[in-house]
Amino acid sequence: MGTLGLGVVGCGTISKTYLKRLPGFDVLRLVAVADVRDGVAEKQAAEHGIPRWYDSTEALLADPDVDLVLNLTPPLMHAEVALAALRAGKHVYNEKPLAATLEQGRQLVAGFRRPPESSAAVEDHGDPGKPDAPGPQPVRRGGGLAEHGG
């Protein structure tokens, strides 16, 4: 598998841990961050050497260099952001919970069903607060969702 251009949506508290650890994954290129709060994404981009920052999710999703969206928004926004990313043709890694309601979860699962050549799944065995944890690992390309083993 080649490298994926990663865009992070949501630059809150948890993003600091992710942004610190992401350079250790050779399958990812951190290309952009976005946050709706004024100046927050710009600050994170400057602190972490990220080439682009946006003040909206839509702008990040329009970036052709973003292949994978890391959704670190507040839980009530997870489904909305993930569905928008899927509709934009992006892969999505959602922070938990997947969605706020069962119906939103079902919509997301339906959105994940794509042609096998365009989908990928990762399984997270790590803890972003522990630097020695293994973190996300590719488990399958194509065919939709992979089950979490733990």
User: What token pair was written down for 35?
Assistant: 């946050």
Using DSSP bridges, classify how beta strands 120-124 and 136-141 pair: parallel, antiparallel or unpaired. antiparallel
Closest CA to 15 of 136, 97, 128: 128
* pLDDT, position 96: 86
State the CB neighbour count (10 A cutoff) for residue 128. 19
* Domain residue ranges of the chain, discontinuous segments joined by +: 4-141
User: What token pair was written down for 106?
Assistant: 């079902």
* pLDDT, position 17: 94
* pLDDT, position 90: 93
- Give tens-digit pLDDT for 35-83: 999 999 999 999 999 999 999 999 999 999 999 999 999 999 999 999 9
What CATH superfamily is the domain 4-141? NAD(P)-binding Rossmann-like Domain (3.40.50.720)
Q: What 8-state DSSP symbol labels residue 34?
A: E
Place of tokens 């065919």: 143
Helix axes 40-48, 13-21, angle to 10 degrees: 20
Q: Give the whole-angstrom CA distance, residue 34 versus residue 7.
A: 8
Residues 6+ apart with CB under 8 A from 92: 68, 69, 71, 82, 85, 86, 112
- 147 vs 119, residue with greater confidence: 119
